[in-house]
Amino acid sequence: MSKWIWLVLLVLVTVIVVGSRGTALNGLFQQRPSPAIVERIPVETLQPKPESQSVNIALQVSADKLLAHIQKLDFQRYTTIERSRTRTYITTELQKLGWKPHLERFAEGVNIFAERLGTDKAAGAILVAAHYDTVAFSPGADDNASGVSVVLEVARLLASYPTPRTLQLAFFDQEEAGLLGSKAFVAKTARLQNLRGVIVMDMVGYACYTTGCQQYPVALPVTPPSDKGDFLAVVGDTEHLPLLSAFQNSQTNPSTALNKRELNLPAVLTLPIPLKGLLAPDTLRSDHAPFWYQGVGAVLVTDTANLRTPHYHQPSDIPATIERSFFTGAAQIIVNATTNLLESSNVLETQPNNE
């Protein structure tokens, strides 16, 4: 089936298509050279932020802590030794925060899993995850130290924050080798029975603010939302629209935020994918996809990867290319959405009146 046909179908589900990360949508989107960027320039959001309940000051992300993790992970995480070194860092950080991480070995690698029980067992669990490996020759600051950093920040903020739902954390190995870590994770089907939703971060730290620096698919049958790369994209399946809605309603700063400039939250553009990606197979190449196959609602949160950054899978993907304001805002949006999902007992499957 042609790309035009399935893109039209996406329009019929009333979404704005913005794409996903490079490995997730590399075949769907044509990779083009990106123009030079202007770093660290605060921008106005693309659209008015919807009203939403503010989060507690205790749940305000720390830009310094986020960037410190990326600095600590400033090395290639490709070989067995390098990935072991990465696991040591992640597990040590989790233990400092009071978590009890577990190593889960599979044939090609090792995942890291941790859990903080909720107050209502029947409410189920929300999993927050990111892959920690890189391709060869890239230190992967954006891909995917940025995602790992956000999971660690979620771990810090919510370690002792009681919620009805259980909070689970996962750090997947060997994503770059074919989603091997997340496939191994979902193979333990018993653990999926209590899982209500999954949030996967894969490249959430890069932004560009010059006209034309954001690329889009060829023959996109909708008007692009922006010619700048200053938004956060969230990809989910149409069977779990309330999970996507949690991100549409997560753009309010903590009411007592000490530094509003630090928390200049970017716009969020959501992309619901119908039929578990059957008509858009290139949207399945990231760690959310194995959960879709198992009928579990999952979203991929991304800065759109090679559609925006010229550093995708390159040696130049270093901490200096992370855009601090955008990255901090993206992390706050993820924390807000995660907190809202943990505090709610709402069903996350799409109901007939939502279709």
Q: What is the pLDDT of residues 163-185, one digit of tens each?
A: 999 999 999 999 999 999 999 99
Kind of pairing, strands 166-172 and 195-201? unpaired
The whole-number pLDDT of residue 4 equals 35
- The closest of 301, 189, 298, 302 to 238, measured between CA atoms, is 298
Per the document, the length of the chain is: 355
The whole-number pLDDT of residue 311 equals 98
Edge to edge, what strands does the sheet with 125-131 contain? 102-106, 109-116, 166-172, 125-131, 195-201, 298-302, 231-237, 267-273
To the nearest whole number, what is the mean pLDDT of the chain? 82
In angstroms, the CA 15 to CA 149 distance is 29
The whole-number pLDDT of residue 251 equals 64
- The mean pLDDT value for 335-348 works out to 94
The whole-number pLDDT of residue 252 equals 59
More confident residue, 325 or 5: 325
